[in-house]
Structure 1
Amino acid sequence: VDGTGLRAQVSACTLAMGPRRRRVVLLADLTEGDRLAADLQAMARRLMTVQEDERRSLSRELHDDIGQSITAIKMCAMALADEDEARRLETIGEITGIADDTVAKLRNLSLLLRPPQLDALGLEAALRWQAGAMFRNGRPTVELDLDRLDSRPAHDVEQACFRIAQEAMTNAIRHADADRVVLRLRSSSDGLQLDVHDDGRGFDPQAARGLGLVTMRERAQQLGGDVWVEPAPEGGTRVRARLPLRTAEDVGAAVGDRY
């Protein structure tokens, strides 16, 4: 009707119905399947783009911060041979300070990649630790309202929920000019629900096209969940995420069933 092409599969067979024979023709519309495949391919491309952007950011951090620090250590060490005793001791102190800063930067990068609290203590403890680290300066303040989870979510669900919360809190600190941020985590029969709300300046949904928003949605959709970023009725911005509450036991049982 609208001029759109249709891809279909046609098959036919003959049925004997008493003395009569009937020719049955089946027409299967394959267009929707093609559309779904195209959507999956587009999602995979977007996910690869997000991963490459994250790797590029990590590479830049390693090159700019860590690389420059190591170069400074090398230059200071080479200068030791031509310095008197007093200056040599001062240079050794500089090298020690740069080395300590470099170790701290490497530790921070490691925590960004995979916080040990997430592996050792689980999602709730990791969220508390992350919020404490990000809001340690006291402005904005943070309020935590985290359900106690009866069972531990699967690894990929924990990882996605933590990263979405991390990105939402980062945006609140950098862009919202907020006084207060509320982080909520709820567990129900509908799944795991995350809510990050700030009382900042808000935003225009039509103009929100940042990589962080894309990343949050991709993380959730990859698991069959979703993310909504919207102006809050009472002011500020609200990030809501819904994720399936698959547990580590569920994953283990599913794997065991295949053997």
Structure 2
Amino acid sequence: MEFLFNFSHYLLRITDPAPVALWEKQETLALWFIAIIIFVGLLLSVSLFVIYKGIQSKFQQKLRDQRIKHEHEVDLREATLFNQEKERKRFAQDLHDAIIGKLTILRISIPLGISQEQMDSYLQDCIDSSRQLSHDLYPPLLNETELTDQLCSQINRYKLQFNIALTHDKRCAEDFHSAVKLHILRIVQELCTNTIKHAHATQIDFHLRLTSNGLCIKYSDNGLGMKDNSIKGIGLKSIHDRILQIGGLLKIRNVNKGFSCLIVLKK
């Protein structure tokens, strides 16, 4: 109470219209000057603190983004290595089943006196299988052949296993890099392989659409489908990783019976 009384008395003195001593006026100016300095100091402190927090937040966000990017790159490298090993394993199995087995039969049959026609048939099968394996490892004339033609040729290979409905709508010229072409071909190949191994399907519908906005591929079958839409299988994980590498989008949809996916690659 005494402090409030003294402070109110002081305010009355400095606001009193009556003349005051000069030293009292100087004291008032000094107090106001000190108050302004304190206020400016507090304002600068708050401003510097806000700026510091903003810089700190941006720096932490940049670190998080770099960490996420690094983890993503590591995942892509691991996926690439996994896909390479998977392709090698598949190639070894195909080489054994399609070529080595037939050559072994031919070697055993020659001493038994097989006819020239049978020998030619075995050799032609080995040549055809070798050519197909070579095309699977790296499609011929990849740079010179358009992606739509490559995809149609690859899909038509599976006509012996399925009824295939193939449609394509091409509305502009292609300008895809060979690496992108190879990823797309591998993705379609993986889809067909998964259908053969797991779906027990009889029908494949393949629609390809190319416009100035990009490439759209729709793939569907009438097989067993999946239990859910999550990407858990090794084959679908490989497809997802490849699409990430080329900057595309993948959408998987389960119907009552069958599997369907949409792949979009924007230009």
Q: Give TM-score, length-normalised by structure 2.
A: 0.67
Determine if contact 2:142/2:178 at 8 Å carries over to the other structure: no
2:139 is equivalent to residue 115 of structure 1:
yes
Change (3 A) 1:146 1:171: farther
Aligned to 1:46, which of 79, 102, 119?
79
**In 2 relative to 1, CA 175–58 (structure 1 residues): closer, same or farther, beyond 3 Å?**
same
Report the Cα distance in structure 2 between the residues aligned to 1:52 and 1:170, rounded to whole angstroms: 16
Give the CA deviation at 1:150. Answer: 2.0
Query: How far has the Cα of 1:74 moved from its partner?
Result: 4.0
Q: Confirm or deny that 1:34 pairs with 2:67.
A: yes
Indicate the structure with greater helix content: 2
Structure-1 residue corresponding to 2:265: 243
1:110 partner amino acid: S
Query: Structure 1 regions of 5+ residues with no counterpart?
Result: 1-19, 80-86, 246-259
In structure 2, what is the equivalent of residue 83 of structure 1? none
Amino acid at match of 2:224: R
The answer to whether the 8 A contact 1:226-1:242 is kept is: yes
Deviation per residue, 1:80-110 (Å, 9 max, x gap): xxxxxxx64x365544332222112101212
Distance 1:95 1:191, change over 3 A: same
C-alpha separation in 1, matches of 2:69 and 2:144: 39
Distance 1:63 1:240, change over 3 A: same
Aligned length in residues: 216
Query: Structure 2 regions of 5+ residues with no counterpart?
Result: 1-43
Q: Are 1:145 and 1:182, in contact at CA under 8 Å, matched by a contact in 2? A: no
Shift of 1:55: 1.0
Task: Flag the 1:61–1:199 CA change in 2: closer, same or farther, 3 A.
Answer: closer
Partner of 2:128: 104
Q: Distance in 2 between matches of 1:157 and 1:66?
A: 30
Match of 1:150 among 156, 173, 183: 173
How far the C-alpha of 1:54 sits from its partner, in A, is: 0.9
Q: Which has the larger radius of gyration?
A: 2
Report matched runs for 1:46-85 at 5 Å: 46-76=79-109, 79=111
Cα distance in 2, alignment partners of residues 206 and 48 from structure 1: 25
For the residues of structure 2 that align with 1:229 and 1:205, how far apart are their CA atoms?
Answer: 10
Letter in 2 for 1:114: Y
What is the SS of the residue equivalent to 2:175?
Answer: coil
Q: Is the 8 A contact 2:171 2:212 kept in 1?
A: no
Amino acid of the residue matched to residue 132 of structure 2?
N
Partner of 1:129: 153
Q: Structure 1: how far apart are the matches of 2:95 and 2:222? A: 34
Q: Distance in 1 between matches of 2:83 and 2:224?
A: 27
Choose between structure 1 and 2: higher strand proportion.
Answer: 1
The answer on whether the counterparts of 2:252 and 2:262 sit within 8 Å (CA) in structure 1 is: yes
Contact map agreement 1:135 1:142 (CA 8 A) in 2: no
Counterpart residue identity of residue 259, structure 2: T
Question: In 2 relative to 1, CA 191–148 (structure 1 residues): closer, same or farther, beyond 3 Å?
Answer: closer
Paired amino acid for 1:32: D
Matches of 1:99 and 1:226, distance apart in 2: 44
CA RMSD in angstroms comes to 3.2
Alignment of 1:99-248 (within 5 A): 99-116=123-140, 118-136=142-160, 139-188=162-211, 190-205=213-228, 209-232=232-255, 235-245=257-267
User: How far did residue 221 of structure 1 move?
Assistant: 0.6
